[in-house]
Amino acid sequence: MALTRLGILTSTLVFGLGLGLATSCASPSSGKPAAAPSTGPSAEALRAARRSRPALPQRPPPPSIVTPMKGEPALGAPSEARLVTTSCEKASHDQLEASVKAMRVAVDAKFREWHDGQKECWADSRAEYEALHESAMMDAEGGGGGGGGRMAPRPTSVPAEMSAAPTKAVTGGPGPADRESDGKHKAARAGSASGTNNQVASVDEADLVKNDGRYVYLATNGALRIVEALHPKMVSVTSLPGTAREMFVEGDRAVVYTAGGTPGNHCTYGYDCTFGGDGTTTTISVFDIGDRAKPKLVRRMELSGSLIAARRIGGAVHTVVAEGDQQVAYETWPPEFEMCGTMEPAVRAKFAKLKADNERTLRAAKRTSFPSLRENDVDHTMCNGLLRTAIQDGQAFTSVVSFDMREDNVPVTSTTLQSRPGAVFASADALYVSVTHQRENAGARWFKSYGQSAEISEIHKFKIGTAPRDTRYLGSGIVPGHVLSQFAMDEWYGYLRVATSRGRVPDPNVESAVSILASGKDGNLVRVGAVEKIAPGEDIRAVRFDDDRGYVVTFRKTDPLFVLDLYQPARPTVLGELKIPGFSTYLHRIDQEHLLSIGFDGDAFEGSEGVALQLFDVKNPTQPRLVHKEKIGSHGTSSQAATDHLAFNYFASEGLLALPMTICEQQNPAFSGLLVYDVDAENGFTRLGGVDHGTVGVSCNAVWSSATSTVKRSVFLDDLVYSIATDRVKVQRMTHLGNDLADFSLTQ
């Protein structure tokens, strides 16, 4: 593939976008287009240079530290965040009573609001009466209007509803192994193929597309589809129950997740969305795909919760599901009730009836079923050893479910906590769930060590690995603020690094931190070090951890890139900072000296001015430099890869980058499809061409924080590139970008 990459400049003529849609800069200040590929180094020379670049010396393992940093609870003190064992029934009962109590408090607060507003109502009524009285007097003096000179009668008293009301609380209502054949012929294996953009190399993440070099597997539009990779043709289409979500493929096994019901948009970048369930159920189907033409269902599990995340380590699959995190809605103001003009006894009766009606609604919605797994027509309630958080989270339950995708007789292992879900990060031996809490919503219970904090995150750690039976809860910890995505967490030599922001711009008090947590002897997570007050007034837009380095992008009007040294867990420090316009939303380490990013040019509040690709030199961490930048389109331009890392396809060995993209010019779509670039640290970005999916039905109204595009994923296989949209798959040769080698419908 590398031999053909740089000879594709003529493809851009077929691509037909014109040079005005993107500006490629050799350096931030030059403003000159990148040199034409024909004048640069050969593709083979570039590939050799990438592979021969010397590795930086590695530091020895960091010191082992479990001493809490200043201000944190002493080592050995009971952890406020540690989960405690309970039962589903007790947890549900306790939460119901807490919900009823909270509802009463909320309705009482609205009654006090009515009460406090009556003085203003009285003043308005008094002014209206005096105006009417004055008008009547004038009419009487002038004999006006056939009124016979009679003065309007004056009330003998002020209406009771205008008098000051006592501050009594409202009462009423109720009390408290890979075979090389599809069975008919042998499919050729690609010499090189891109894979899933996993955060951790040894931990596979579920996705809607997988490939093994011979076949491309797709879980979309209600079916598992298998395509022969190098000679693109549909090998099989297997119907699935429900809406296809994600999948794993390992050897001759495929695991496919489907949703019962209509799933909502999956939150991958938590700036304007919440990591939560969507009310659907989850079915896990395991297929034997030894015969690719006839996949055989060998195991099926039905979970009562909706899919949050899934990871695979070897043959062990670990799935996080959640349910019940949709709160029961109720009113706090009586229907058809105005602030002024109603007698107080009637008002009290209305609020009392409202509380009684709300309580009936809450109690009717009491959970009578609990997190469950159904397999072989047998239901299993996942309540054994249920764990409860310190801060009650409604009737939400989050479960970690582990099974072996290779051995169908190995039983499922699960652990469930009574908590909302959150962002999920997994290393090779641990899974972390970060759950954000706001103090204003926590009721009377809050953490002593963070008494002045309005926002914290509980982080729960679970043991996972290659054996499903090992899955279990280990401990919990607390950090200030909230995480943006799974990339805000990372594990290195047993230390968990977490980047968080407290608040969000334009709040002037927003600030960010990077915390380092260690596991104590009791399993709880101890905050041993932190870099605090990073970029006051700005919030985090992108994070990447890599070995002993951390990279954090914050934003308000400019895009500071911070480089952190995290080698000393107790003394992490900021090494360098670079301020540039715009902001990045995803960072990707392409080698030890360079960061590749995607984000937006311009201002998030006034409107972005297109998508921006940037290449940073971080060899000298005290002086990070922007060395190359590529601007794509104008306002409205959007890419799935900006907020979903699985859509970002950097093929490291070949220096290729494929990005789903909707390009907009003057608020109108100019291109919708897949862009392909050569990326090189020395020469920057060279656009090789694109796979056009057409602009029919394409919008230029995407919001940056929920960026999307028609194309969702891509795959490189030798000299082929697959462009995967919601409705079809297009396959083109890298030497003939713009010409379809194959075009498969995903809706038939």
Same domain for 447 and 321, yes or no, is yes
Does the residue 608 lie in any domain? yes
Which residue matches tokens 């002897």?
A: 521
Distance CA 138, CA 151 (A): 9
Domain closes at, from 485, 502, 519: 502
Same domain for 419 and 466, yes or no, is yes
pLDDT of residue 78: 58
Q: What type of residue sits at position 694?
A: G
Does the residue 683 lie in any domain? yes
Does the residue 181 lie in any domain? no
Sheet holding 583-591, edge to edge: 22-25, 625-632, 607-617, 594-603, 583-591
Domain closes at, from 487, 502, 517: 502
Same domain for 321 and 344, yes or no, is yes
Does the residue 6 lie in any domain? yes
Give tens-digit pLDDT for 576-595: 999 988 899 999 999 999 99
Element (H, E) at 11: helix 11-15
pTM > 0.85: no
pLDDT of residue 438: 85
Regions in the chain scoring below 70 on pLDDT: 1-56, 76-79, 124-185, 325-327, 366-369, 392-395, 442-444, 557-558, 603-607
- Report how far apart the first and last C-alpha atoms of the chain are (Å, whole number): 32
Give tens-digit pLDDT for 407-418: 999 999 999 998
Cβ-count burial of 446 within 10 angstroms (0-12 exposed, 13-18 middle, 19+ buried)? middle
SS (H, E, C) 132-173: HHHHHHHHHHCCHHHCCCCCCCCCCCCCHHHCCCCCCCCCCC
Return all residues near 108 (Cβ < 8 A) that are at least 6 apart. 169, 170, 351
Q: Are the C-beta atoms of 629 and 617 separated by less than 8 Å? A: no
Does the residue 302 lie in any domain? yes
Does the residue 249 lie in any domain? yes
At 286, list the tokens. 């395991």
Same domain for 40 and 76, yes or no, is no
Q: Among candidates 482, 488, 324, 315, which has minimal Cα distance to 393?
A: 324
User: CA distances (Å), 61 to each of 58, 249, 492, in order?
Assistant: 9, 34, 9
In 73-228, beta strands by DSSP E: 84-86, 204-205, 209-211, 215-220, 223-228
Q: What type of residue sits at position 84?
A: V
User: CA distances (Å), 402 to each of 133, 167, 466, in order?
Assistant: 79, 55, 10
Same domain for 588 and 669, yes or no, is yes
Structural domain harbouring 381: 65-140+203-502
Distance CA 7, CA 27 (A): 23
Same domain for 24 and 85, yes or no, is no
Same domain for 317 and 345, yes or no, is yes
Does the residue 186 lie in any domain? no
Same domain for 231 and 269, yes or no, is yes
Does the residue 157 lie in any domain? no
Number of domains in the chain: 2
Domain closes at, from 473, 502, 531: 502
Same domain for 238 and 259, yes or no, is yes
Distance CA 596, CA 612 (A): 11
Same domain for 437 and 485, yes or no, is yes
pLDDT of residue 557: 65
Same domain for 476 and 363, yes or no, is yes
pLDDT of residue 616: 97
- Rounded to 10°, the helix 344-364/88-116 angle is 160
Same domain for 381 and 488, yes or no, is yes
Give tens-digit pLDDT for 34-88: 333 334 455 555 555 555 555 667 789 999 999 999 888 777 665 677 787 877 7
